[in-house]
Amino acid sequence: MASLPPHLTGWQILDEPLAIHKRGDSRARREASAAMAARVKFPEQALDQRPGRWSGGLAQRLAVGRALMLQPELLVLDEPLSALDPTLAGHLLELLLELKAAGTALLFVSHDLPAVARLCDQMLVLYGGEPMCQGPAAALLRELRHPYLRGLWEAVPHLDAPHAPRRWGVEAVRPEQEGGCRLYPRCPSATEACRIAPPEGAAMRCHHPF
C-alpha cells in the first residue's frame, strides 16, 4: 500500500510507467491499463478510485499490474502473495508462472515454501541475512537436508499430517555463541561443533545436514 501514490487513481498509476517511457498515445495507454487490470483481476470500476479506498489485496494486485506494464525482463517480488486470500494468491501464482514461461526472470522473495516449490528453479535459503543452503529448489525441498529448511517446511500446515512435530520454536533454547553457527541458539540438531566454529561451504552451510 505504501508503494502506491495516494493522490493518483488506479488508471493514473497504471498509466504512469507508459507515459514516462512514452509508450503509445493516451488512448492506447488507457486500453493497455484496462487489459492489465483484467489480467491481474483488478475490477475496472475500482480504477477510478485512489489507493486509500482499496483493500490490501486490491492494492497488491494493482502494484503487480503496475510492475508488469513495461513488460520487464526481470521482476523482483518481495512476498507478493502475503496479503492475498488463497484464491487470489493462486491466481497470482498462475500469472507468475505464465510470465516465467514467456521468458520473464523472477526473483521471488518469500516464506511461502509451497509457492516457492511451484515457481522457482533455483533457491537460496537465508537466515539473519546469511546464506544457509542453495541449489535447485526441487532437490532442496525434496531432501530437506539443512535443519533450518527442514524446520521451515515442518512449520507449513499440511492437511495429511495435522499433528506433525514442530521442532523449531521462536525462542532461543541456548545462548548465542560468538564464532559459532548463527543457528546455534535455536537449532535442534546443534552440537558442540556448532558452538565452536561456523559451518562453511557454498551449497550447504551446516555441520550436520540430514
Binding site for ligand SF4 (CB under 6 A): 147-148, 181, 183-184, 187, 189-190, 194, 199, 206-208
Count of other CB atoms within 10 angstroms of residue 168: 17
C-beta of 38 vs 126, nearer to ligand SF4: 126
C-beta of 120 vs 206, nearer to ligand SF4: 206
C-beta of 29 vs 150, nearer to ligand SF4: 150
Q: Give the angle subtended at the CA of 149 by the CAs of 93 and 76, to the nearest 5°.
A: 35
125 forms beta bridges with 133
Q: Residue 195 CB, nearest distance to ligand SF4 (Å)?
A: 8
Q: Residue 208 CB, nearest distance to ligand SF4 (Å)?
A: 4
Torsion sign, CA atoms 58, 37, 21, 103:
positive
C-beta of 160 vs 192, nearer to ligand SF4: 192
Q: Residue 209 CB, nearest distance to ligand SF4 (Å)?
A: 7
Helix, strand or coil, per DSSP, at residue 103: coil
Dihedrals phi, psi of 143, to nearest 5 degrees: -90, -30
